[in-house]
Amino acid sequence: MKAGPLYHPHLTDDIDLLLKRHAASSEALQAREVLLKQLQNAITHAFGPHCQLVDLTFSPAHTILTNMRVELAVVDRLTPDGALPPIIATPKLVATLRALDLQVISDPSTARTTGLYVSTSPSASPSTPGKLLPGLQLILNYSLPFALTRLRLFECYFALHPNLPALFSVARLWLDSHSLNGISPTSLASLCIGYLQMTFGLPHLQRREVVEGVRQDELRSVLTNEARQWQVRPLPLGELLVGWLRYFGRRFRSKQSAVCIQSGGLVHSPATNSTLRVYDPFKKSHNHANLSPADTARFVNLAKTATDTLEKARPLREVFGPALPNPKSPRMGVNPRLAQDIWTLYESNQPTPQTLENRRKIIRHINRLIRDNYGEVYEVMQFGSTGYGVDTDSSDLDLMICDHERPTGFSPNLGNLARMFLARGIGKILRKAGFLDILAIPTASVPIVKCRDRYTNIKIDINCNELLGLRNTELLAHYCNLYHPLRPMIFFLKRWARSYGLNDPGAQTGPPGFSSYCLALMTVAYLQTRNILPSLQACFDGTPADRDQHGVWLRVKGKPPVWCDTRWKEASEWVCPDVSLEEAVYGWFKFWGSDIDYARTGVDIRLGKTFERERDGRVNTPTSKKGRKGKRGDSVTNAAVLLKDMKLTEPNTPVTEASIEIASIRTRSDSVATTVDSIPVGEVQMAQEELNTLRAEVESVPSTNGKAANFEQPVLWRSHGLLVVDPFIRAKNVAGNVAFSQIELLRMNCRHTIEMLENGLPLDRIMGDFATEPPVAEPMPLPPPMPFGRGRGRGGGRGRGRGRGRSD
């Protein structure tokens, strides 16, 4: 069954915040009332006491916006629901308005059918000296029949559905943001009511059995009594808005139909052009919409585009046009409990003592297996999020097999590699030791073996002597020690990104997103721009390094090793400014939401500042939008090696780099026929793409006589949507594999979160739909002891029996 559209998790909250931000202030409402009284007095003085001014915007039913047009009607009390007598002359009315310093901005000759458009100049605030209130725009009608009865009808409809007034207000704001001013408040109210009648069965108050035979002076009370008999199930405001936009953007055909709430929402009425028609509920010959065919087509196209945007879970702000008023943002009103809630979130998700003990046992067990098979020079070490303290009970355990005879990694003069460096061999050992879900990825930029502990269900990633992961962990751990709130801040930002589907680098649920390591670098980089953190590496720029002591060699399959300067200095004398956690979090969202131009600026924690990107827009690479349309499963058989039926030679047999590549190719061809129950396609593809990207970045570094030029940016970076430079691999953009759609989604959600923070919303209202941490897998019970030796059905060989302890 096809899943329905997925809206932004805070769409309804965003509508509520938007209406609050653009709601007219009490001073503006007071000035509006003063103006209406002046108009009433002037009309009474000019045309007599029987002429009454009526506000048709039914203000008690909905939010009055700062720049919302006010629709008025002049009604003769002697014939309150009939058209005004000819005594009301347009020139005389225009002269009356101009006497009040009001500017008539429409053609008076068409005023009897479209209304007289009037604007006021900004006025001084009655309570705040020196403050100017925005001017108002008025629509003054004096030839519409049934003004009072129509007003009562709309008020009854607005009282029926609790979210109809808010739908009217946000739709008004959306129309004004796109300069669709020809849709009057009366027209918009009919569009909203008609949509609910056609789509959700809003009661039809003008049914024949209700109004037939009722005198005109009794109609208002009849409509009121009819409305009281109905109870309407309220619908979510976000769903109402998207449905309204979808209906008029995709389904409505203005050339064949017209909106008429008297007929239940829609009436079939073919026309010669496609002008939007909104018939009066009491006089169908009158069209309240004042849109040309071109503006009608624009309205339909904008509604369709807005629907497409919201159905992609985009924030609400993306559907509004450039004419959206931009009220001055309030002073930062972050919830005072935000910092405490983030600390509570961080501390409540810390690994339990049992989990920490389980990890230590796993490390000791794997360390013993490696040393027993390959020698005492190897040591298993922990790195990653579990190494610098932003992990949870469900975090994977990242391990590295360190070779103490190669303290700088895989240098060019490495010679023959020990058999230990073949990922398949390590997987074979782990499989014999009882680990589950063995998966080797020898073609990744850092060849790894993935597995799961059978007793604790902890997932494990193991690499061989790739020392950069360890150096990164040490560097980030020291930054966390310099600024005490950094660990909970990184933890919260990872959880926030995951809740919006942004922390998915393996493309498991959508386009490739940001890795946790990338988010950590982005956080440190932001804090450096605010002088909260120093650069621990900038002091070594320009200082020659001893390659045998001050760095490590990075292995890039198919390319010569790359030397990386891993020097950094502990800033023990650094005095960290007193910046609160909530202030730092607010600043992070503001920095990545609006302060930085992704296309022109990159971040680099080694430099400790932002820098200008080189751009030419001519490079087409696998990281571009076009390069991301391949099938996610294409690289599975090329990148994954499932260790199920592999034949391996003795552990101590030396093997060269070339033989590793040959063995990898042979294994890939053999694995095609291997039956696999489940392969993490996203992780395998991410590893392959990361390798390809790293190769391309290394190749694109400008060089002279084979030596990289200093301070030159790889050409490949010019095609990346966001630039976050790795502190050690200087040719690597950590955000290089992130999809363009995810980068833009990060920016929009940062802006959205800023608005929520400024309105003092709590932590749970800031998170998205996927804010919960995945449940921790329950430890599996210990299997019963099994006799040694191989036998059919006991899981020790390749037989087909269903023996005890067999789990694959």
Q: Is 61 helix (H, G, I), strand (E, B) or coil?
A: helix
* DSSP states along 125-191: -SSSTTPEEPP-EEEEESS-SSHHHHHHHHHHHHHHSTTHHHHHHHHHHHHHHTT-TTS-HHHHHHH
Which residue type sits at 38?
Q
In a domain, 190, yes or no: yes
Query: Quick one: 389 and 531 in the same domain?
Result: yes
Of the CA atoms within 13 Å of residue 112, those in its CB half-sphere come to 9
What backbone torsions phi and psi does residue 226 show, to the nearest 5 degrees? -65, -40
Question: Does the residue 334 lie in any domain?
Answer: no
Q: Tell me if 223 sits within 8 A of 233, measured CB to CB.
A: no
Residue 61 lies in a domain: yes
**Cβ-Cβ contacts under 8 Å for 414 (sequence gap 6 or more):** 406, 561, 657
| Pairing mode of beta strands 448-452, 70-76 | unpaired
Backbone dihedral region of 243: left (phi > 0), alpha (psi from -120 to 50 degrees) or beta?
Answer: alpha
Burial class (CB in 10 A: 0-12, 13-18, 19+), 760: middle
User: For the stretch 765-790, what's the b/e string if a residue is b when 16 or more beta carbons lie within 10 angstroms of its beta carbon?
Assistant: ebbbebbeeeebeeeeeeeeeeeeee
- Residue ending a domain, among 264, 286, 319, is 319
User: Alpha-carbon distance 565 to 567, whole Å?
Assistant: 6
Residues 313 and 351 in one domain: no
Residue 476: in which H helix or E strand, if any? Answer: helix 468-482
Instruction: Read off φ and ψ for residue 123, nearest 5 degrees.
Output: -120, 160
Q: Which residue has the tokens 């430079």?
A: 725
Quick one: pLDDT at residue 148? 82
Domain annotation covers residue 777: no
* Residue position matching structure tokens 């936009």: 245
Q: Any alpha helices (H) in 483-635, and if so which ranges?
A: 486-499, 516-529, 581-590
How many distinct helices (H) and strands (E) make up the chain?
24, 22
pLDDT for 217 equals: 62
Q: Left, alpha or beta for 795 (phi > 0: left; psi -120 to 50: alpha)? A: left
Do 62 and 118 lie in one domain? The reply is yes
Q: Which two tokens stand for residue 57?
A: 């915007």
Examine residue 456 and state whether it is found in any structural domain, yes or no: yes
Cβ atoms 265, 197 nearer than 8 A = yes
CA 304/CA 78 separation, integer angstroms? 46
Same domain, 85 and 139: yes
CATH number for the domain including 132? 1.10.1410.30
Q: Cβ distance 400 to 465 under 8 Å?
A: yes
Find residue 476's DSSP bridge partners.
none
Biggest CA–CA distance in the chain, Å, is 111
Domain-embedded: residue 807: no
Domain that holds residue 285: 11-319
Do both 476 and 620 map to the same domain? yes
Burial class (CB in 10 A: 0-12, 13-18, 19+), 385: buried
* 717 in Cβ contact with 724 (< 8 Å): no
Cα 553 to Cα 264, 563, 704, 740, distances in angstroms: 74, 4, 21, 31
Sort strands 707-708 and 703-704 into parallel, antiparallel or unpaired: antiparallel
298 and 435 belong to one structural domain: no
Angle at 62 between CA 60 and CA 65, to 5 degrees: 110
Following DSSP, what letter does each residue of 678-720 receive, concatenated? ---HHHHHHHHHHHHHHHHHHHTS-EETTEEPTTPPPGGGGG-
Asked whether residue 752 is domain-assigned, the answer is yes
> How far is 247 from 241, CA to CA, in rounded Å?
10
Q: Whose CA is closest to 306, among 174, 173, 189?
A: 174
Q: Are residues 426 and 550 in the same domain?
A: yes
Q: Do 123 and 213 sit in the same domain of this protein?
A: yes
> Which among 323, 425, 437, 420 has a CA at the least distance from the CA of 380?
420
| pLDDT score, position 709 | 44
How far is the C-alpha of 672 from the C-alpha of 405, rounded, in Å? Answer: 37
Are the CB atoms for 99 and 118 separated by under 8 Å? no
Assess if residue 333 is contained within a domain.
no
Closest CA to 345 of 238, 489, 225: 489
CA distance 105 to 126: 26
Task: Please say which residue of 271, 288, 319 terminates a domain.
Answer: 319
How far from chain centre, in Å, is Cα 496? 10
Same domain, residue pair 305 and 350: no
Residue 605 to residues 126, 232, 641, Cα–Cα distance (Å): 52, 57, 36
- Residue 183 and residue 55 share a domain: yes
Q: If 0-12 CB within 10 Å is exposed, 13-18 middle and 19+ buried, where does residue 94 land?
A: middle
Decide if 558 contacts 315 (C-beta within 8 A).
Answer: no
Using CA atoms in the order 432, 438, 442, 443, what is the torsion angle rounded to 10 degrees? 170
Tally of structural domains, the chain: 2
**350 and 303 in one domain?**
no
- Let me know whether 310 and 370 are in one domain: no
Domain boundary at 266, 284, 319, which?
319
Handedness of CA 345, 350, 353, 355 (dihedral sign): positive
- CA separation for the pair 723, 712 (Å, rounded): 14
Q: Which residues contact 590 (CB under 8 A, 6 or more apart)?
A: 750, 754
The CATH number of residue 430's host domain is 1.10.1410.10
Q: What is the mean pLDDT of each run of 10 residues along the chain (808 residues)?
A: 64 87 81 85 85 77 73 80 59 78 65 68 62 69 77 85 89 91 88 90 78 67 73 81 94 89 87 87 83 91 94 88 70 78 94 94 95 91 90 91 85 61 83 92 74 94 88 94 95 94 82 93 97 92 78 78 88 88 95 94 95 68 38 31 33 36 35 37 54 57 46 85 93 92 92 88 82 46 42 44 40
Q: How many CB atoms lie within 10 A of CB 524?
A: 25
CA-to-CA distance for 763 and 22, rounded, in angstroms?
A: 24
Query: What residues contact residue 554 under an 8 Å CB cut-off, 6+ apart?
Result: 409, 410, 466, 468, 561, 562, 563, 564, 729
